[in-house]
Amino acid sequence: MTAGTGNTAASERACEECLRRSWLVARLGAQFDFARRRGRDLPLIFDLPDARLIAAIAGAARPAVEREYDAFDPQAAAARCSAAGVETLCRCHSEYPRRLAATTGSPAVLHVVGGRERFVRLVTAETVSIVGARRGSPYGLEIARSLGRALGAAGLTVVSGMALGIDSAAHAGTLEGEGATVAVLPAGAERPYPASKRGLYRRITGSGAAVSELPPGSEIRRWTFPARNRIIAGLSAMTVVIEAGERSGSLITAALAEDLGRELGAVPGRVTSALSAGTNELLARGARVIRDAEDVLDAIFGAGVRRTVPASRVSRCSVRAELRELFDALAGGCDTLGALMGSGRSLDQTLTQLAELEVSGHIRREAGGRYVVRA
Amino acid sequence: MLAQVATFAIDGVEPRPVWVEVDIRSGLPTFTIVGLGDTAVRESRDRVRAAIQNSRFTFPQSRVTANLAPAFLRKAGPGFDAALALAVLAASGQVPAEALARYAVYGELSLGGELRDSPGALAVAEGAHRAGLERLIVPCERAREAALVEGIRVVGVASLREAAAVLSGREPPRPTTSSPAGAATIRTEPDLSDVRGHELPLLALQIAAAGGHNLLLEGAPGTGKTMLARRLPSILPPLTRAQAIEVTRIHSVAGLHAGGLISARPFRAPHHTVSASGLVGGGTPPRPGEASLAHHGVLFLDELSEFQRTSLDALRQPLEDGHVMVVRGQRVLELPTRFMLVAASNPCPCGFAGVGDRCCCGEVDLRRHRRRLSGPLLDRMDLLVTVERPQERELRAPPLTSSARARERVLAARQRQQARLASAGGGCNGEMDSRLARRHVRLDRAAELALGAAYERNALSARGRHRVLRVARTIADLDGRDRVSAADVLMAVSLRQRDLAEGSLAA
């Protein structure tokens, strides 16, 4: 099968040429790190045809790369993918996400874990990416969670990078809102990165998908992070940044989204907080102010066209009548036992009721004995 | 002439009989001590010689050889001085040797011939009693302590001269009384009635004391974690006489106590720089560590995350078994370590998680903090309680309880447990393994449903479920109920130490 003949929707795997391209990108991994200048230029590098890419990047390794390039065995590459439980979707495929296809330097092959059809369905719907700092503050993490939750509940697909901090919180929030979410990974799609997010990875691939442009077994490199960011920006109708320092990778995603002419939003933070320097800068340059999920929906669908259902109101219905009063107090910001006890509750009863809410998954206990209302 | 007198070496906290033999024969005047002594024993030659001469006895002008038997046992410290001096006097005919045979002698000598205060007299008295000796000579500061052992006559003496007078029957031994029974009730411990507010921690302290559960207090700096932990001994049941003697012996050996019986439960709070052997015992000569000093009391580890990992790991065996085996050289030493563990920790590296928006820690910091804390030690913690800054109105309110009131509840709960666990050899709820818990924790229908639901929904891990069972049993015991209710189970869920597997952190 070649690119020329075109793939039908029914075909099961990527075409030979795209597989070779994908292999080549992974093969040039080490050289890319030398070539990497600024994240914003990456799409241009990725737009080069194979031969020119080798010429531009490979350097001393060029003869070896060319030899291996000619000897590339697509059957074996495809076999490696299926052995790793990864499905492929290539640029020549009619199902290839249209939004991503429209970008410069889009990946030749998307490697998908969690079902190709589901992935295609999810990214064809309205997509929002939520990205931000790895060391998010409790404020940022909670915003990421609640945005994910509300957007997931509203039926949008939330795209992010599964990094520590904001990214993970956005994924986790979406899952709590019973929405589907797509994680774009910096290494092979079969490998949870960071490894500590294994549990989250399982839940994401259970109802959504994990994707990567790199074939299974590829290594993490510095350039794979900005390269992954270009896919996040490319897949999404809108990108929302929550907490980013001045030199955060999330700002690369934001810049790429801006270059693509997609909607860009940022959550305002304190002007004195280093973690909000990047986001506040984006706002100053004209990004949309995002205060809640409503603002995101307004940006995508037009003001007032779609409304969110406040997540806490949904979950409140499932709280037993006797526990509602306590639940409302928690949702209203009385989030530690000391604060709750202030209004004349008895300790015994409060403890049992908190346990009940915790067991039923309505609240979560965090460090410092703070109770946080979940979805 | 040959003379022999019994004394004791202290091996960890155990007394080991040592025979001091002295042989005097004609030859050039020398004084040698053999029998594996340390430097203090070698130096004892000069002390003994001077003490004898300054007590207006004569030191034999001939060849004097002293042997400390058994020769394989390493002997440390100056406690052999008095025995050496009396053996020399007996061998040279200055005190009656046959009188000395009924005595054990223990104490350090000054150059002037006074018997100095020497730690460990209680252990020595126990050893002497076990060895079938009738009488014991100790420095008079230690007489009260040694007299705690029944069935042996303790003679406290101030000097070598006085000891010789007692032995030759010229002077009646001065009377020694063990501490009067009334003294045991005088307590100077901090009391719970000093505490304002802190309703939850107070409840947790009572549950911990009632069930022997280990407790982790979490909270921002300055909220009162240490203050609360210090008051735990005041609500624990009083020491039995046997326990008090054990505690006194350990503290006496460690040189931390002189006088009568220790009646208060020990509270030990080692600094976080403590080494593994400082915590569980060791060194040369081996000494009891903080875990043994907290025997029958409370070991409090403040700033748990600051302790070295190796020190904390060393606590595993003492926590599991109630004793620790310290191996040094060719010897194995068993030290008792049955204590309650209370630890305090900041909730996050900056310490202010849960206090408004003050916390500035990232997910990674929290994770690292949790990991530093986690491990085998946390597995033994049944209760996790957040200590919050009390509200202003609480500070103005009267105290919620007093130690006397709390202790009454604790005692009643302990009695219920002992009656129930009698068949399993006694103990308390905190020591139940899963088999015992299955047998002795009876849940009512609603409680079973509540526990089942929590487990089904993955809010509890298997280990967490077991912890909840034990704690719920104690809560019901405190209320005087045989059946564990759903409210007990839910309260235990609220107070539980969360497993990492239960994922309290963001995904």
Q: Residue B178: inside a domain, yes or no? A: no
Q: Residue B426: inside a domain, yes or no? A: no
Q: Quick check: B366 and A137 CB within 8 A?
A: no
The partner residue sitting opposite A351, judged by closest CB among B219, B354, B494, is: B494
Long-range contacts: B323-326, Cβ < 8 Å, 24+? B324/B280, B324/B281, B324/B289, B324/B291, B324/B292, B326/B12, B326/B277, B326/B280, B326/B281, B326/B282, B326/B286
Residue type present at position A100: L
- A172: nearest Cα among A146, A137, A192, A196: A146
- B491: nearest Cα among A340, A356, A345, A351: A351
Q: What is the pLDDT of residue A328?
A: 85
Phi first, then psi, for residue A159 (nearest 5°) are -110, 135
E-state strands within B261-309: 267-268, 298-301
Query: Are B17 and B139 in a shared domain?
Result: yes
Q: Which residue of A has its CA nearest to B393?
A: A342
Query: Are B223 and B351 in a shared domain?
Result: yes
Q: Residue B371: inside a domain, yes or no? A: yes
Q: How far apart are CA A174 and CA A156, in angstroms?
A: 9
Query: Are B160 and B213 in a shared domain?
Result: no
Query: Are B443 and B371 in a shared domain?
Result: no
Q: How far apart are CA A192 and CA A161, in angstroms?
A: 11
Q: How far apart are CA A171 and CA A189, in angstroms?
A: 16
Q: What is the pLDDT of residue B227?
A: 92
Q: Residue B196: inside a domain, yes or no? A: yes
Q: Does A140 touch chain B (CB under 8 A)?
A: no
Domain residues for B134? 2-167
- The alpha carbon of residue B352 is apart from the nearest alpha carbon of chain A, in Å, by 7
CATH code, B82: 3.30.230.10
Query: Are B375 and B227 in a shared domain?
Result: yes
Q: How far apart are CA A364 and CA A374, in angstroms?
A: 7
Look at chain B and report how many structural domains it folds into: 3
Contact in structure between B165 and B155 (CB atoms under 8 Å): no
- The alpha carbon of residue B269 is apart from the nearest alpha carbon of chain A, in Å, by 23
Query: Are B65 and B119 in a shared domain?
Result: yes
Q: Quick check: B364 and A135 CB within 8 A?
A: yes
**For residue A281, what are its two tokens?**
């800068």
The partner residue sitting opposite B507, judged by closest CB among A138, A199, A358, is: A199
Phi first, then psi, for residue A351 (nearest 5°) are -65, -45
Cβ–Cβ pairs < 8 A, chains A and B? 129
Q: What is the pLDDT of residue B504?
A: 40
Q: Residue B153: inside a domain, yes or no? A: yes
Contact in structure between B236 and B364 (CB atoms under 8 Å): no
Q: Quick check: A139 and B490 CB within 8 A?
A: no
Most A CBs within 10 A among B455, B465, B490, B502, hence the mutation to make, goes to: B490
Cis peptide before B238 (omega within 30 of 0): no
Q: Give strand pairing partners of A130.
A: A240
Taking the CB of residue A67, how many other CB atoms lie within 10 A of it?
Answer: 9
Q: Does A340 touch chain B (CB under 8 A)?
A: no
Q: Residue B485: inside a domain, yes or no? A: yes
Domains of chain A, earliest start first: 16-301 (3.40.50.450), 311-373 (1.10.10)
Residue type present at position A152: G
pLDDT digits (tens, 9 = 90+) for A136-189: 887 788 889 889 988 998 889 999 999 999 999 999 999 988 899 999 999 999
Query: Are B356 and B441 in a shared domain?
Result: no
Q: What is the pLDDT of residue A162?
A: 95
Q: Residue B184: inside a domain, yes or no? A: no
Query: Are B206 and B162 in a shared domain?
Result: no
- The alpha carbon of residue B190 is apart from the nearest alpha carbon of chain A, in Å, by 24
Residue that terminates a domain, selected from B379, B411, B443? B411
Residue that terminates a domain, selected from B167, B183, B202? B167
- Residues of chain A where predicted confidence (pLDDT) is lower than 70: 1-13, 34-40, 308-315, 374-375
Q: Quick check: B354 and A369 CB within 8 A?
A: yes
Query: Are B295 and B237 in a shared domain?
Result: yes
Query: Buried b / exposed e across A305-317, counting CB within 10 Å, b at 16+?
Result: ebebebbbeebbe
**For residue B441, what are its two tokens?**
């924790």
The partner residue sitting opposite B388, judged by closest CB among A196, A197, A337, is: A337
Q: Residue B488: inside a domain, yes or no? A: yes
- The alpha carbon of residue A253 is apart from the nearest alpha carbon of chain B, in Å, by 21
Q: What is the pLDDT of residue A333?
A: 72
Q: What is the pLDDT of residue B76?
A: 87
List for chain A the helix, strand, coil content (%; round to 5): 50, 15, 35
Q: A209-212 and A109-113 as β-strands: parallel, antiparallel, unpaired?
A: antiparallel
Q: Report how far apart, in Å, the C-alpha atoms of B414 and of each of B199, B299, B381, B432 are.
A: 22, 20, 19, 13
Helix axes A347-359, B445-456, angle to 10 degrees: 40
Contact in structure between A227 and A108 (CB atoms under 8 Å): no
Q: How far apart are CA B283 and CA B415, in angstroms?
A: 39
Contact in structure between B406 and B192 (CB atoms under 8 Å): yes
Q: Quick check: A168 and B363 CB within 8 A?
A: yes
Dmax (CA) for chain B in angstroms is 90
Q: What is the pLDDT of residue A4?
A: 40
Q: Does A338 touch chain B (CB under 8 A)?
A: yes
Residue type present at position B383: L
Please state whether the predicted TM-score (pTM) of the whole model is above 0.80: no
Q: Does A360 touch chain B (CB under 8 A)?
A: yes
Q: Quick check: A341 and B203 CB within 8 A?
A: no
Contact in structure between A300 and A126 (CB atoms under 8 Å): yes
Q: Which residues contact B175 (CB under 8 A, 6 or more apart)?
A: none
Query: Are B225 and B370 in a shared domain?
Result: yes
- B152: nearest Cα among B295, B263, B336, B8: B8
- The alpha carbon of residue B267 is apart from the nearest alpha carbon of chain A, in Å, by 26
Q: Which residue of A has its CA nearest to B456?
A: A359
Q: Within 13 Å, how many C-alpha atoms sit on residue B274's CB side? A: 27
Q: What is the pLDDT of residue A8?
A: 41
Taking the CB of residue B71, how many other CB atoms lie within 10 A of it?
Answer: 10
CATH code, B271: 3.40.50.300
Contacts of A352 in chain B (CB under 8 A): 486-487, 490-491, 494
Query: Are B232 and B95 in a shared domain?
Result: no
Contact in structure between B339 and B306 (CB atoms under 8 Å): no
- The alpha carbon of residue A186 is apart from the nearest alpha carbon of chain B, in Å, by 19
Q: Quick check: B459 and A367 CB within 8 A?
A: no
Q: List the pLDDT tens digit at each of the 507 positions of chain B.
A: 899 999 999 888 889 999 999 999 999 999 999 998 888 899 999 999 999 999 999 999 999 999 999 988 888 888 999 999 999 999 999 999 998 989 999 999 999 999 998 888 999 999 999 999 999 999 998 898 898 888 899 999 999 999 999 998 887 777 666 554 444 444 567 889 989 889 999 999 999 999 999 999 998 888 899 999 999 999 999 898 889 999 999 999 888 887 778 888 999 999 999 999 999 988 877 889 999 999 999 999 998 888 888 888 889 888 888 889 888 777 788 899 999 999 999 888 888 877 766 677 777 777 788 777 767 788 788 899 999 888 888 888 888 899 999 999 999 999 999 888 888 777 788 888 888 888 888 899 999 998 988 888 777 888 888 889 999 999 999 999 999 999 999 999 999 877 655 544 333
Q: Which residue of A has its CA nearest to B386?
A: A369
Q: How far apart are CA A185 and CA A84, in angstroms?
A: 15
**For residue A92, what are its two tokens?**
């020549």
Query: Are B342 and B460 in a shared domain?
Result: no
Q: Quick check: A352 and B354 CB within 8 A?
A: no
A positions 180-219 inside 8 Å of B (CB): 196-197, 199-200, 203
Q: Quick check: B354 and A368 CB within 8 A?
A: yes
What is the torsional sign of CA A248, A250, A254, A259? positive
Q: Quick check: B362 and A134 CB within 8 A?
A: yes
Find where tokens 């403040």 sit. B302
Q: Quick check: B348 and A139 CB within 8 A?
A: no
Contacts of B359 in chain A (CB under 8 A): 137-138, 367-368
